[in-house]
């Protein structure tokens, strides 16, 4: 299947990829093109800006989380949903060849570009260099012959004379220049402890920046040349990923290995009767989530109802299950605490044994307090607090106990990304009536037990991509059906 596509990468983080990609998406959309935005890696924040610019969801492509075999199908699914895109633009992660720490190159932008047979445009931060930029670009072009670098965008260019020097250097190595972007302090996007401030938290300001980035891209990038390069991508020998087929084909395997979900998977996919309602937290405090998660829940037989814990005082009507993903509850702790009615409702809902899946920010929200601000208290006396230490990395984990997401022993792949830590009850020891959610080994080989399973609650710092463990959606929806039946 042929979809014109390009990957925008860089020699290192901080080169301005997100700004260039967001502007390119907006400029192409302004031309009347349907543009499909994608992001290499697990990052949740950049796709929010992509979605604003493209007018359709930003989607992640991460071989570690979903497996190499799903990259092409998931890409095609995004490029065809809600309608076929005229071009797909894929933003890379870190430097072009940076990937999994213990598997050189795995999960890197180069890896994904190769899996998609997509040409690469290298975004080069040229603010402190002249002719030497050519040596950098030449080295990247020669490093891996499987990666086709079709041109460069020169970013942070200081003057017309600087641009002339850089263009001459690119001509020496016969590298097409597809854009020259001058320095503009007004386009800086605010950051904090985990990266850019999510677009959903900036509302009108984010839209204004996207509009300005689109104008810059239209003026400074060679859109026709970029479209022509994207059109050189060959047919992709894959079928689009289909959430319904993923759920139906989950069989008895919930993750990348290990024990399966058994009969409960088939029960969810084929059960008759009213569809259970799965409430999914959103709003400014819970902005992290992969687009495929609600698609899988719907395919597994549920209705998805979004709600905002900062303002909504009750769960959506008929809620039978609850998903609380990642985000920045610490930034919005005041609003979350002030909404005592919803905190009480969540605590009462969890006490019924109904399924609750909480990741990272969701774990913090279910704790008793976050930096002293009262939260839901679903996890007993467990509290949470900000720390100076960033916990970041891919994990291969095994389910430590049976839960609403996976049977004990199921192997999954995920990632951690947080600056908070949970604080056990006074006196330490295990949390009453709970078991760890996951177990894995750290770089030194020591076993880590992480998260909490308590009744129908599964709360953990580990972020997972349910497209890489589609049996989880069926298992979760089956638990929601059972909870609804009990409530009836």
Annotated catalytic sites, by residue?
A: 360
Q: Which residues contact 71 (CB under 8 A, 6 or more apart)?
A: 61, 63, 112, 115, 116
Q: Which residues contact 357 (CB under 8 A, 6 or more apart)?
A: 321, 322, 323, 324, 404, 405, 458, 476
Q: Which residues contact 472 (CB under 8 A, 6 or more apart)?
A: 254, 255, 261, 405, 406, 464, 466
CA distance 318 to 394: 36
What b/e sequence results for 91-127 when a residue is b if at least 16 CB atoms lie within 10 Å of its CB, and e otherwise? bbbbbbbbbeeeeeeebbbbbbbbbbbbbbbbbbbbe
Residue 62's nearest CA partner among 469, 349, 481, 418 is 469
What are the DSSP calls for 439-472, one per residue? EEE-TTS-EEEESEEETTEEEES-EE-GGGSTHH
CA distance 108 to 94: 8
CA distance 324 to 355: 11
Q: Which residues pair with 263 in a beta bridge?
A: none
Residue 305's nearest CA partner among 279, 329, 330, 331 is 279
- In 3-state terms the chain splits into helix, strand, coil percentages (rounded to 5) of 35, 25, 40
Cβ atoms of residues 1 and 85 within 8 Å: no
Reading the block at residue 3, the tokens are 């979809």
Q: Which residues pair with 322 in a beta bridge?
A: 279, 356
CA distance 450 to 440: 8
Give the single-character DSSP code of 468.
Answer: G
Cβ atoms of residues 1 and 22 within 8 Å: no
> Residue 364 burial by CB count (10 A; 0-12/13-18/19+): exposed, middle or buried?
buried
CA distance 336 to 265: 35
CA distance 185 to 182: 10
Residue 126's nearest CA partner among 93, 174, 164, 176 is 164
Strands 369-370 and 373-374: antiparallel
3-state secondary structure of 77: helix
Reading the block at residue 121, the tokens are 């445009």
CA distance 271 to 256: 25
């Amino acid at each position: 299947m042929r979809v014109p596509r390009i990957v925008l990468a860089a020699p290192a983080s901080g080169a301005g990829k997100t700004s260039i990609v967001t502007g390119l998406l907006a400029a192409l959309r302004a031309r009347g093109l349907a543009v499909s935005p994608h992001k290499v890696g697990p990052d949740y924040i950049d796709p929010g800006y992509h979605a604003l610019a493209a007018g359709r969801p930003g989607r992640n492509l991460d071989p570690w989380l979903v497996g190499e075999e799903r990259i092409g199908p998931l890409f095609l699914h995004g490029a065809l949903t809600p309608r076929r895109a005229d071009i797909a633009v894929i933003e890379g992660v870190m430097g072009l060849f940076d990937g999994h720490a213990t598997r050189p190159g795995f999960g890197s932008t180069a890896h994904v570009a190769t899996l998609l047979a997509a040409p690469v445009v290298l975004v080069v931060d040229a603010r402190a260099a002249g002719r030497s930029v050519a040596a950098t670009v030449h080295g990247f072009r020669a490093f891996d012959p499987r990666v086709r670098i079709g041109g460069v965008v020169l970013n942070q260019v200081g003057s017309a004379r600087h641009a002339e020097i850089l263009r001459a250097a690119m001509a020496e190595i016969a590298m097409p220049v597809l854009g020259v972007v001058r320095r503009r302090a007004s386009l800086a996007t605010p950051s904090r402890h985990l990266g850019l401030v999510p677009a959903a938290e900036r509302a009108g300001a984010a839209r204004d920046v996207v509009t300005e980035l689109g104008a810059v891209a239209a003026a400074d990038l060679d859109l026709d040349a970029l479209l022509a390069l994207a059109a050189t991508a060959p047919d992709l020998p894959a079928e689009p990923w289909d959430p319904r087929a993923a759920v139906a084909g989950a069989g008895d395997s919930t993750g990348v290995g290990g024990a399966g979900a058994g009969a409960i998977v088939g029960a969810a996919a084929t059960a008759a009767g009213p569809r259970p309602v799965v409430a999914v937290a959103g709003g400014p405090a819970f902005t992290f989530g992969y687009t495929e998660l609600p698609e899988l829940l719907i395919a597994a037989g549920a209705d998805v109802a979004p709600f905002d814990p900062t303002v909504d005082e009750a769960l959506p009507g008929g809620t039978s299950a609850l998903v609380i993903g990642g985000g920045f509850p610490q930034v919005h702790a005041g609003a979350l605490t002030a909404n005592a009615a919803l905190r009480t409702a969540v605590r009462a809902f969890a006490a019924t044994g109904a399924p609750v899946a909480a990741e990272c920010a969701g774990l913090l929200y279910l704790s008793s307090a976050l930096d002293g601000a009262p939260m839901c208290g679903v996890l007993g006396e467990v509290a949470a607090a900000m720390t100076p230490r960033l916990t970041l990395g891919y994990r291969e984990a095994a389910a430590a106990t049976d839960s609403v997401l996976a049977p004990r022993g199921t192997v999954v792949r995920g990632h951690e990304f947080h600056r908070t830590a949970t604080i056990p009850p006074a006196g330490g020891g295990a949390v009453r009536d709970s078991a760890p959610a996951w177990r894995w080994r750290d770089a030194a080989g020591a076993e880590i037990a992480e998260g909490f399973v308590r009744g129908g609650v599964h709360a953990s710092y580990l972020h997972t991509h349910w497209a890489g463990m589609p049996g989880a959606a069926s298992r979760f929806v089956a638990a929601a059906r059972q909870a609804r039946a009990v409530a009836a």
